[in-house]
Amino acid sequence: MSLHIDSPHAPLEPLHLPQIQHKKIDLFLKREDQSHPFISGNKWRKLKYHLLAARQQNKNLLVTFGGAYSNHLLATAAAGAKYQFATHGFVRGEEVSNHMLKLCLLFGMKLQFVSRTAYLQKEDLFQNYFGSNQHAFYIPEGGSGNLGEQGVSEILDEADMQHFDAIIASVGTGGTLKGLLQGVQKHQLNTRVHGIVVLKGAETMNQEYVAYAAESYCLHHQFHGGGYAKTNEELYTFQHKFASQTGIILDPVYEAKMMFGLISLIEQDYFAPGTRICALHNGGLLGVLSR
């Protein structure tokens, strides 16, 4: 049975924020968070070609990896259920229960908690437990890699995404940013892709982008807010204000930092008046329930 996966419904909406109105920036929000309640945002985009490859190879069990609050684990569990795959998640660390893992279980995912040391060797885990299972398909943590980037690049296939001077996205592994860059390259756009890095001390990741034209991207390292999954009073206040101003929720781990960084850059006149900017909202909304 071949697999057909529809393009996600992720509307492009103008975003009006009173605090930056005088800057004359044309700001839009790409609502990837609306593509699905549980397979949302970039996780949906990144899974697409993994699922197609699995089906093509006649595999019916998706095996993947994540932390106890992983948006990717939940996306895989929900996508697996939707497209008739069994799912197995290796979870980093001691056994715990939370709303994310409960949802994974509800979608039928089998969870296996492994020590932080064992978790580092993901290929070994797969080999040890599924090496002899012909039906098991390996999906890298976060849905990363070429297949994941290919899925993300399709955002730029959408005609209304091809007119921006700048596209902004949060950066964890950077798979999303690379996918966007590939989409920009493919369509030969003059768009510059900006990544707001949510990890602290991650400057060495710049080396992964040397293959891309310097004017096509920029990584911003000053908005991590203390480090991965850390937040602070300023970010929390911002996230709160943004939700009450717009009706749009930003998760604390990624999108609140992305939007805080973007608004800060606009306030600092980093972008010239008239710049057309699109910010990507990559979902992760259940993250607000974690603290």
Ligand X SMILES: *Cc1c(COP(=O)(O)O)cnc(C)c1O
Q: At closest approach, how far in Å is the CB of 171 from ligand X?
A: 5
Question: Cβ neighbours of residue 187 under 8 Å, at least 6 residues apart?
Answer: 156, 157, 162
Only segment of 17-25, 87-95, 133-141, 278-286 that touches ligand X (CB under 6 A): 278-286
> Residues 27 to 56: which contact ligand X by CB under 6 A?
41-43
Q: Could you tell me the CA-to-CA distances from 57 to 3, 49, 50, 123, 234 in Å, in that order? A: 11, 12, 11, 19, 48
Indicate the residue among 142 and 261 with the shorter CB distance to ligand X.
142
The reply on whether position 153 binds ligand X by CB under 6 A is: no
The reply on whether position 174 binds ligand X by CB under 6 A is: yes
Handedness of CA 217, 219, 223, 224 (dihedral sign): positive
Please write down the long-range contacts of 27-30, taking CB distance under 8 Å and 24 or more positions apart. Answer: 27/266, 27/277, 27/279, 28/164, 28/276, 28/277, 28/278, 28/279, 29/248, 29/278, 29/279, 29/281, 30/155, 30/161, 30/278, 30/279, 30/280, 30/281
Among 251, 256, 261, 262, binds ligand X (CB under 6 A): 251
Size of the site for ligand X (CB under 6 A): 18
Q: Could you tell me the CA-to-CA distances from 256 to 127, 224, 261, 262, 280 in Å, in that order? A: 37, 10, 8, 10, 11
> Residues 253 to 272: which contact ligand X by CB under 6 A?
254-255
For residue 214, what are the β-bridge partners?
none
The reply on whether position 175 binds ligand X by CB under 6 A is: yes
The reply on whether position 150 binds ligand X by CB under 6 A is: no
CA 220 to chain centre: 17
d(CA 55, CA 53): 5
Are β-strands 166-171 and 26-30 bridged in parallel, bridged antiparallel, or unpaired? unpaired
Q: Which residue is nearest to ligand X (CB)?
A: 284
The reply on whether position 141 binds ligand X by CB under 6 A is: no
Among 150, 176, 182, 191, binds ligand X (CB under 6 A): 176
Instruction: Map residue 135 onto helix, strand or coil.
Output: coil
What type of residue sits at position 218?
Answer: C
Q: At closest approach, how far in Å is the CB of 179 from ligand X?
A: 8
The reply on whether position 142 binds ligand X by CB under 6 A is: yes
The reply on whether position 8 binds ligand X by CB under 6 A is: no
Q: At closest approach, how far in Å is the CB of 49 from ligand X?
A: 14
Among 173, 182, 191, 239, binds ligand X (CB under 6 A): 173
The interface mask with ligand X, positions 60-79, x = CB under 6 A, is -----------x--------
The interface mask with ligand X, positions 201-230, x = CB under 6 A, is ------------------------------
The reply on whether position 171 binds ligand X by CB under 6 A is: yes
Residues that bind ligand X (CB under 6 A): 41-43, 71, 142, 170-176, 251, 254-255, 282-284
